Amino acid sequence: MRQNDQKPRIAVIGLGYVGLPLAVAFAKKVEVIGYDTNKRKLDTYKRGLDPTDEVGNEGIRNTTVRFTTDPSALKAANFLIVAVPTPIFQDKTPDLNPVLSACRTVGRNLTPGATVVFESTVYPGVTEELCVPAIEEESGLVCGKDFFVGYSPERINPGDRQHTLSSVVKIVSGMDEATCAYIAEVYEMVVPAGIYRASSIMVAEAAKLAENAQRDINIAFMNELAMVFDRLRISTRDVLEAMNTKWNALRFEPGLVGGHCIGVDPYYFVYQAENLGYHSQIILAGRNINDGMAHFVADATVKMMVLAGKRVREAKVYILGAAFKENCPDMRNSKVADIIRRLSEYNIACGLVDPLVDAEEAEAVFGVPLTPLSEVREADCLIFAVAHDCFRALSCEQVEAMFAPLPAGERVIVDVKSMFDRECAEQKGFLYWEL
């Protein structure tokens, strides 16, 4: 018996960058249970602190979400949303353990008539072929008779204050038309931008992979251009400014591609394509290019220090930026870690600077203690890896004060995101390189 004749009592399983804003948004409308296995994380939320900065401390303090690590609390819900991570293994194959573990937890605590919606990014077929059997096995219930499933891919963009949950069209799908209609009705409460009803669960799963693979490929194209332009000794920024005068230019830029979506999701597509007997060409090539950009930046840094006459092993190098993207504290799959590892192959020990990230977590991720921005001094080389606003706001004089008192041409700036004015930097005597 479907419970869509009742007011939804929502449970969100997984309270990270996706699940937390979702839970807080729904809690403004209905009763919400926020479940996560990480007690430390939930204790932080209960103290009114939001380390993700997606909701903000005030939003956390004022929410009515009932945060819990007790899985039995899920029995009170009749609309369950699974928003756990779906990472990859070291060999780049999908790690479905978190989502399948969540399925087992849901199954053990599922109320007959409930609807389960997956937001975790997966390859087409996972929801119906893997998740549903896992829930059935644990619950003893039958999908389509005792409970119902759907898929609604998350579209959260960490650190983006413009494209938020409420302002981006939400894709929804269901195992049948009635389920899809009910899921759409529930999400309409928190997504005024509108709902798009996909024709099937597999279509919705594929749409998520396609949109992220598309972005990954376009950035890979820009990264390949940047590597060639570097050999030609012309500015990628100048080329893109000229190219972008055409009306149909896509305006992508080169850069490091990390995070939990663009740097991961294409591998889910590649994996499923291989299972179907098709070897990915374009998507896998794009991944290979983007995965190699950290090494390209690190090697360019060494080259610039050699040109500056540095004894590379003794050089004092700081990397500014630890997050995977600008203006957010999210360090998942940050390619800065690859830069640090590559430079360590040259016996270069780097300082790491990022005012936005959690210092304890950063040291655990990168193996390097954070240095406060105000304490960056006597540098030989600065690598600006992430375009945080606090870094963009630095003047040439402030950057100059971070260096040791060296002659012109011996202070190296590596500007991955082309944040600074080349002419100003060179007038100050910096040896300047941009991607």
- Identity at 322, one-letter amino acid code: A
Q: CA-CA distance, 383 to 20, in Å (whole number)?
A: 33
Check: CB of residue 173 under 8 Å from CB of residue 204. Answer: yes
Neighbours of 288 (CB within 10 A): 10
Name, in order, each residue with C-beta under 8 angstroms of 286's C-beta and a sequence gap of 6 or more.
213, 216, 217, 219, 220, 221, 266
CA torsion sign, 278 to 214 to 294 to 17? negative
Known catalytic membership, residue 143: no
Check: CB of residue 123 under 8 Å from CB of residue 269. Answer: yes
Check: CB of residue 351 under 8 Å from CB of residue 322. Answer: no
* 36 SS3 class: coil
Whole-angstrom Cα Rg for the chain: 24
Check: CB of residue 189 under 8 Å from CB of residue 28. Answer: no
Q: CA-CA distance, 115 to 236, in Å (whole number)?
A: 50
Check: CB of residue 35 under 8 Å from CB of residue 73. Answer: yes
Q: CA-CA distance, 337 to 42, in Å (whole number)?
A: 27
List the catalytic residue out of 103, 261, 328, 381. 261
Q: CA-CA distance, 413 to 230, in Å (whole number)?
A: 15
Which residues are marked as active site? 261
